């Protein structure tokens, strides 16, 4: 491959940036996404080996299936036009843990805490889907730089990973894959039943090297490494006395030769490491300590703004008094309007009363021939406006009309010395014609007579 060559119609190689056991790593440009990516290409001559092709394809598949922010993201995989297998991954900015240790030396224990938690998060997600990494080492732990200065971990290289689903394993008995210095005893022996607890061992070896600058078990050959593992291991405090004593107990358990004596999950191992280092358990939920301290707390920020909107002492009672005064003033205004309206209505009724009396008097003067059809209309209108009387008039028949005409006319008649005698005689005749006895019954009987209508007398 040469710079400028297209791996796919949208991915163009820029320059090589590294080399591994199965191939080379290139910096490339993604023409569609307009961003830079990393392309891993298989070395020439290995494309004819079925086992290498299977591992290469499995690496892309596992990285895509283990959906974790702490696992490198895979964009594409396949075979180029020239027949070279490739994997397109995200470009990471930073350095792996191996280079960091070479530049800075052993790491303080409190700085290793967030790194251990994030590695455990990535491995825990892989173990949940049936994937055992089997190659945990500082070179496969990438430390990305963040704006806050805390490292963000990405787990790399699932090429030697073991996939176990429904009892079917991807490797055979006797096959040894991985980096020997970080392998568990069962992985060195090539046992078939190698499970996720081999990653627990490797995590302990990585932590030992990060804290002391050296690996706990060293040898030139695989046989010598096996003897070193079965001998008495060194302690952390013997190499760094300033470390907590609880870390010695933690390392003895995380790298226990007996699989059943080890931590049974990477989460338990990470939690025990946090307890031994800080004296406190790992926070829930299972998250990175490097991210937790910068979590904003909107409640405390918003509190001053809420306090400024509260009323001052005594101001609330003033507002209540002002509201009460407004309500009282509105009630007084409404009462004045009602009184003015009622007085105007009474004055208009008083003005209409004399006119009604005059009309009644004028109606009573012509007595000679009664005209029933014409008389009821003005009389009914007048009686509705007239003030109430102790004995209400009748509502039906000619007699009722005559009685209604006679009653309102009495107050307007002159004194007995006045000359008009005909209207008085006419009133007397009407009273005789009404034929209603006036025995002076009690008030209750008068009310009964008001309810029961009297018999009608035909007009003469």
β-pair partners for 168: 165
d(CA 36, CA 11): 9
CB-count exposure of residue 130 (10 Å: 0-12, 13-18, 19+) = middle
β-pair partners for 145: 151
85: nearest Cα among 64, 51, 49, 57: 57
Which residues 6+ apart lie within 8 Å of 335 measured at CB? none
**For the chain, what is the total number of helices (H) and then of strands (E)?**
15, 12
β-pair partners for 87: 40, 77
Which is the catalytic residue, given 34, 76, 135, 427? Answer: 135
How many residues are given for the chain? 460
Q: Which residue has tokens 């990405």?
A: 154
**C-alpha 52: how far from its chain's center?**
49
Give the helix/strand (H/E) hosting 321: helix 315-364
Q: Which residue has tokens 């894959």?
A: 177
Packing angle of the helix pair 376-385, 397-406 (nearest 10 deg): 50
Three-class HEC string of 216-259:
CCCCCCHHHHHHHHCCCCCCHHHHCCCCCCHHHHHHHHHCCCCH
Report whether 109 contacts 155 (CB < 8 A).
no
50: helix, coil or strand?
A: helix
DSSP letter string, 81-128? TTS-EEEEEEPP-EEEHHHHHHHH-SPPHHHHHHHHHHHHHHHHHHHH
Which residues 6+ apart lie within 8 Å of 407 measured at CB? 389, 391, 393
d(CA 340, CA 333): 11
d(CA 78, CA 157): 17
Question: Is 352 labeled as catalytic in the residue annotation?
Answer: no
Active site residues: 135
């Amino acid at each position: 491959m040469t710079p400028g060559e297209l791996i796919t119609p949208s991915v163009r190689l820029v320059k090589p940036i590294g080399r591994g056991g199965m191939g080379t790593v290139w910096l490339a440009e993604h023409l569609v996404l307009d961003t830079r990516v990393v392309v891993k290409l298989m070395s020439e001559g290995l494309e004819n080996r079925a086992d290498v092709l299977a591992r290469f394809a499995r690496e892309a598949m596992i990285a895509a299936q283990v959906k974790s922010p702490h696992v490198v993201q895979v964009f594409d995989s396949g075979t180029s036009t020239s027949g070279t297998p490739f994997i397109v991954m995200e470009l990471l900015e930073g350095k792996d843990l191996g280079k960091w240790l070479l530049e800075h030396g052993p790491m303080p224990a409190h700085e290793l805490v967030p790194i251990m938690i994030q590695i455990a998060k990535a491995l825990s997600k892989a173990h949940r889907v049936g994937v055992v990494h089997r190659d945990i080492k500082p070179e496969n732990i990438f430390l990305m730089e963040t704006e806050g200065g805390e490292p963000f971990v990405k787990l790399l290289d699932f090429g030697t990973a073991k996939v176990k689903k429904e009892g079917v394993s991807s490797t055979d008995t006797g096959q040894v894959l991985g980096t020997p210095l970080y392998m568990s005893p069962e992985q060195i022996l090539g046992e078939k039943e190698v499970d996720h607890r081999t990653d627990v061992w490797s995590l302990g070896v990585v932590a030992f090297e990060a804290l002391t600058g050296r690996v706990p078990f060293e040898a030139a050959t695989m046989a010598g490494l096996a003897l070193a593992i079965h001998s008495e291991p060194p302690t952390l405090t013997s190499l760094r006395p300033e470390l907590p004593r609880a870390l010695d107990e933690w390392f003895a358990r995380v790298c226990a030769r007996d699989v059943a004596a080890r931590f049974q999950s990477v989460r338990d191992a990470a939690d025990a490491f946090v307890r031994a280092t800080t004296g406190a358990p790992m926070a829930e939920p299972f998250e990175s300590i490097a991210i937790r301290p910068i979590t904003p707390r909107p409640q405390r920020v918003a509190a001053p703004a809420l306090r400024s909107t509260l009323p001052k002492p005594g101001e609330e009672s003033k507002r209540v008094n002002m509201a009460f005064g407004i309500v009282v003033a509105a009630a007084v205004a409404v009462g004045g309007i009602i009184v003015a309206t009622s007085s105007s209505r009474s004055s208009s009724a008083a003005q209409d009363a004399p006119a009604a009396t005059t009309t009644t008097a004028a109606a009573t003067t012509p007595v000679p021939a009664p005209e029933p059809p014409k008389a009821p209309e003005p009389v009914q209108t007048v009686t509705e406006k007239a003030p109430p009387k102790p004995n209400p008039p009748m509502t039906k028949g000619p007699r009722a009309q005559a009685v209604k005409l006679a009653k309102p006319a009495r107050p307007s008649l002159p004194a007995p010395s006045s000359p008009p005698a005909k209207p008085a005689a006419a009133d007397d005749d009407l009273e005789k014609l009404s034929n209603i006895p006036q025995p002076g019954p009690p008030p209750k009987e008068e009310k009964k007579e008001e309810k029961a209508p009297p018999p009608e007398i035909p007009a003469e």
